[in-house]
Amino acid sequence: MTVIDDRVRHAARRIVSQCANVRVGEHVYIEGRLDATEYLELLAFECERLGATAFVAPRSDALVHRRLLELPPEQLETTSRVQLEAVRAADVVFVVKMEHGDPMLFADVPPERDAAATRARKPLFDLFFTGGRRWIGTDFPTPGQAAAFGLDYAAFSEMFWRSLDVDYAELQSKADALGAVLEGAHTVHIVSAKGSDVILGIAGRPFDKDVGVVGRETDLSNLPAGEVCLAPLEDQTEGTVVFDLAFMDGRRVEDLEVRFEAGRATLVGAAREFEFVQRVVAASGAGADVIGELGIGINPAVGEPCGYTLTDEKILGTVHLALGDNEMLGGANPSTLHWDMMVLGPTVKVDGRPILAEGKWQL
């Protein structure tokens, strides 16, 4: 059940007015999980309070799960024209479902069917990130999510709202310092205690500062915010990465070793869920094995990683790399997959200048 208290009301008001900067006369599209309907409607009301119009589109985990298991693949791959038109008409888009409300419910879904449904959403993603729309991707924490990550729900929920209610000026300061180093840089070198040693080419690539506010330096943000990210050059990543943690559809992947040659990934092994990773990448088709993103976390409020990618990737002193799609970051690799994977406690140098030393901020 959705729990709306003063902290949640404050967050909704801040998200609408400060993060999304919703204005009089704008049209807002809000989609999310059915279990978060009360929160979706709270966001909608805050938009209308500012003079905008809002359309709310909820969908239950149960329906999503049933579709994935029972519909034929060709139907799963079909994009809703009605939904496309609704998004096309929007000035601002909120997506409140960065994770399933009950991730473990989806553990029985074959990756091939999940990939088919993701292909249907690709035209929506393209609309989300183009046309000058401001996009906010966020979530509403649930007991099912906490259970999937092995956490106490109260502690998990507190971490989420604490990480969202961060000082955005502090995030901006860290992002600016990091951006000053990345501007005009050519390479990023990442090493870690578990064996990561990889060099990524980034020359000429733009970078995004996700500091919780859209419409200034970027038109998209994940909340909780707190990362600087970019699309590495698709053919200029060389070396090995051992990913400490990744998560998808109730599956927790640990110590995944990936070897990159000319930007393409070869999956070497993992301590947990290696076969699942292989199936996901294979099912996702062209471009799924290509380096897609480099992200550097700058949010000091998150705490320890737990498998919940939305907050894990924002942890100050961590990096994450993604396989697959990077078009929303200014890259040139279209894919139905975009899978963020964590490297904890890394040492990172940009053109030889340290920005992290075993996870400690150096700027």
DSSP 8-state symbol, 302: S
Provide the whole-model pTM: 0.94
Rg (CA), the chain: 19
- 218: enclosing H helix or E strand: none
Residues 57 and 95: their CA atoms lie apart, in Å, by: 10
Whole-angstrom Cα distance, residue 149 to residue 100? 12
What is residue 130's predicted lDDT score, i.e. its pLDDT? 82
CATH 3.40.1830.10 in the chain, residue ranges: 6-164
Give dist(CA 80, CA 58) in Å, integer: 15
pLDDT recorded at residue 1: 54
pLDDT < 70 regions, the chain: 1-2
CATH code assigned to 6-164: 3.40.1830.10
Question: Distance between alpha carbon 120 and the CA centroid of its chain, in Å?
Answer: 18
Instruction: Report whether 248 contacts 295 (CB < 8 A).
Output: no
Largest CA distance in the chain: 53
The H-or-E segment that residue 135 falls in is: strand 134-138
Kind plus residue range of the DSSP H or E element containing 141: none
| CA–CA distance, 104 with 142 (Å, rounded to integer) | 12
Q: Which of these, 4, 56, 10, lies nearest to 33 by C-alpha position?
A: 56
Strand spans (E) along 180-278: 187-191, 197-201, 207-210, 220-222, 227-230, 237-248, 251-261, 264-269
DSSP lists the bridge partners of residue 177 as none
Query: What pLDDT is attached to residue 217?
Result: 83
- Cα dihedral value 95, 101, 104, 105, nearest 10: -90
Which residues does 20 contact at the CB level (< 8 Å), separation at least 6? 92, 94, 134, 136, 214, 215
Token pair 């890259």 is found at 331
Q: Tokens 């501007």, residue?
A: 183
> CB–CB of 255/272 below 8 Å?
yes
Adjacent-strand bridge partners of 354:
349
Cα→Cα distances 91→31, 71, 111, 275, 292, Å: 14, 32, 33, 41, 27
3-class DSSP assignment, residue 181: helix
The residue length of the chain stands at 363
Provide the angle, in degrees to the nearest 10, between the axes of the packed helices 6-14 and 37-49.
50
Beta strands 291-297 and 227-230 are: antiparallel
Rounded to whole angstroms, the Cα distance separating 246 from 285 reads 20
Q: What is the pLDDT of residue 131?
A: 84
